[in-house]
């Protein structure tokens, strides 16, 4: 996604004052956006994938709670940005971490149940094939 040569030439030909005004305007517009919902969507998607993988691979889905705990320091650091604040810092942290934990456990449980169904289906197929292969000598 590079810049076209014409666009680059146009930007370089602009006076420095105009460039600074454009940058200030963009910075102001981006600060008006509430970034918390965007961050929460990305968090839920990321932790859902991590939870599903953990639930599918681990023996018990309850252990997947380790995932948000290991990444909690990074989450708290990101949520301290002023662009993410809802009403207070504590409320923002509770919303962010709750979304992570809920998505991890939900999708971990779904991955675990999918694995269990797959194992149960395979076991019934093996049992059925064993029952069909048994011969009785009733003669």
Give the HSE-up count for residue 98: Cα atoms under 13 Å, Cβ half-sphere. 6
Name which of 16, 119, 88, 4 is nearest 80 in CA terms.
88
- C-alpha of 18 from chain center: 39
Question: What pTM was computed for the model?
Answer: 0.66
Mean pLDDT by 10 residues, the chain (139 residues): 68 85 84 78 90 88 81 78 75 86 91 89 77 57
Annotated domain spans of the chain = 32-124
Give the integer Cα–Cα distance in Å for 121 and 111.
15
- C-alpha of 135 from chain center: 53
Name which of 106, 49, 104, 100 is nearest 76 in CA terms.
100
pLDDT at position 134 is 57
Any idea what the Cα angle at residue 25 is, between residues 23 and 30, rounded to 5°? Answer: 95
């Amino acid at each position: 996604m590079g810049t076209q040569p014409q666009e680059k030439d146009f930007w370089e030909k602009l006076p420095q004052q105009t460039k600074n005004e454009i940058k200030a305007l963009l910075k102001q517009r981006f600060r008006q956006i509430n970034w918390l919902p965007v961050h929460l969507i990305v968090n839920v998607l990321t932790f859902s994938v991590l939870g599903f993988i953990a639930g599918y691979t681990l023996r018990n889905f309850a252990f997947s709670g380790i995932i948000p705990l290991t990444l909690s320091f990074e989450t708290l650091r990101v949520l301290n940005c002023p662009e993410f604040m809802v009403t207070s810092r504590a409320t923002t942290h509770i919303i962010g971490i709750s979304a992570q934990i809920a998505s991890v456990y939900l999708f971990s449980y779904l991955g675990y149940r999918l694995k269990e169904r797959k194992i149960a289906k395979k076991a019934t197929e093996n049992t059925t094939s064993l029952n069909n292969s048994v011969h009785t000598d009733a003669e």
